[in-house]
Amino acid sequence: MRGGGPEVTDSKGAEERGRGASPTGAGVRRRRRRWVRRTATGVAVLVLGAVAAGWVAYEKLNGNITADNDAAAELARYEKERPTALVRDAQNILLIGSDSRSGAGNRKYGRDSGTERSDTTILLHLSANRRSATAMSLPRDLMVDVPGCRRRDGTRTRPMLAMFNYAFEVGGSACTIRTVERLTDIRVDHHMVVDFHGFKDMVDAVDGVEVCLRKPIDDKAAKLRLPAGKVVLDGEQALGYVRARKSIGNGSDTDRMDRQQRFLGALISKVRSDDVLLNPAKLYPVLDAATSSLTTDPGLASLRGLYDLVRGMRDIPTKDIRFLTVPRTSYVLDPNRDQLVEPDAARLFARLRADQPVAVAKRPRAAQGRSPHSVSLYGNTLSGNSSHDYEEESNSDGMPTAIGVALLSGTPDPAPTFRGNTAAQDACG
């Protein structure tokens, strides 16, 4: 009987092994359940890790932005005197470049005097349908009526005629906004202030921006030394390039603003060509740079607020992102200061206020064959310097040709052309 025992045991073990080896066996089902549980746990850990990482990244970007609550309170104080927005969904954002030496990395650009100035101020108009954008530069030396403003120490200034950048120096962004609104009668919906550090990081985040130089640059004040030809500027070089004045071009502030506009156009084209907006790995460092050292009104002082703004701009064709400088000429009492050229400045402000289009060209048609020191407006010639920005073709009766045709045909007023460029224009073209 000893020989029969092992046979029974062996057959039972074989049966169990058979059941374990069977695809439909309980052992396989148990292993599958364990594998599913482990996989689900692993996926959950990955998802939670991604969510946690995303939350950390979101909070970091959100924390980069400083809300300008003092400016909001000051503007609320003068709400009754501010312009009314005429077109629903159109947006006007005032972009201010601060030369503050406070903050990380900024002191090497000069002594911290305790005040801020702005050499770069741009009013960005976004059309209500988000099909076009117009960026209008305001010269720092433009003579304007600056209202009485609250200083940082709580005291108040008296209204005065002064250079435009005086407003930011004495009263910060709120004073600058009120000055712009008085000058243009355009309601400023939002504002952003960015310093040197934030600008440099933005350029570095897109791996530099290409510019074209007709001549080599050696500017000790701007800490800039570059060869002629095509050059890719890193953040430090780009800052020197947009700030330099005496060593590049004709040394005028107008020439510097033109250079800043071309650079911003090239920066926008670089961001779009690299598909940064669709690639999270590329987008995060750009957002981190764009939000660092950024101060905005409370409405934009969050990643959500900025996202909503950028989302509305992402589909605007680069050819419809226009850069121009407010029409200006030398101030009659001081050639080192500026004043508006009228009535073309008023017409530009009116069109932006009413969300009507404008056009830009490097050299408007009316300038062909004409002295660069004059500009034709409705048959009148205004003498001045080469910084005039608005020209329109006129017929023999003194009425601009396009406008004359429009009035006779009953068609809408055509878009006037100002000297400027678009983001689609090749900076090296």
- Contact 177/81 with Cβ under 8 angstroms? no
Cα separation, 21 vs 87, whole angstroms: 75
pLDDT number for residue 325 = 94
Strand partners, 126: 91, 133
Instruction: Give residues with Cβ within 8 angstroms of 252, minimum separation 6.
Output: 245, 387
Element (H, E) at 334: strand 334-340
Q: With 90 as the cut, is the pLDDT of residue 362 above it?
A: no
pLDDT for 314-351, tens place per residue? 889 999 999 999 999 999 999 999 999 999 999 999 99
Q: Of 338, 329, 397, 327, whose CA–CA distance to 364 is shortest?
A: 327
Question: Please, where are the H alpha helices in 68-131?
Answer: 69-77
- Angle value at C-alpha 71, between 70 and 77, nearest 5 degrees: 95
What value does the CA radius of gyration of the chain take, rounded to a whole number of Å?
A: 30
Cα separation, 106 vs 104, whole angstroms: 6
User: Which of the four pLDDT bands, split at 50, 70 and 90, describes residue 391?
Assistant: very low
User: Which of the four pLDDT bands, split at 50, 70 and 90, describes residue 13?
Assistant: low
User: Which of the four pLDDT bands, split at 50, 70 and 90, describes residue 147?
Assistant: very high
Q: With 80 as the cut, is the pLDDT of residue 398 above it?
A: no
pLDDT (average), residues 367-392: 34
User: Which of the four pLDDT bands, split at 50, 70 and 90, describes residue 74?
Assistant: very high
pLDDT for 83-96, tens place per residue? 999 999 999 999 99
Q: With 60 as the cut, is the pLDDT of residue 54 above it?
A: no
- Contact 133/125 with Cβ under 8 angstroms? yes
Q: Please state, rounded to an integer, the average pLDDT across all residues of the chain.
A: 77
Of 57-71, 142-156, 363-377, give the lowest mean pLDDT range. Answer: 363-377
Cα separation, 81 vs 87, whole angstroms: 18
Cα separation, 314 vs 312, whole angstroms: 6
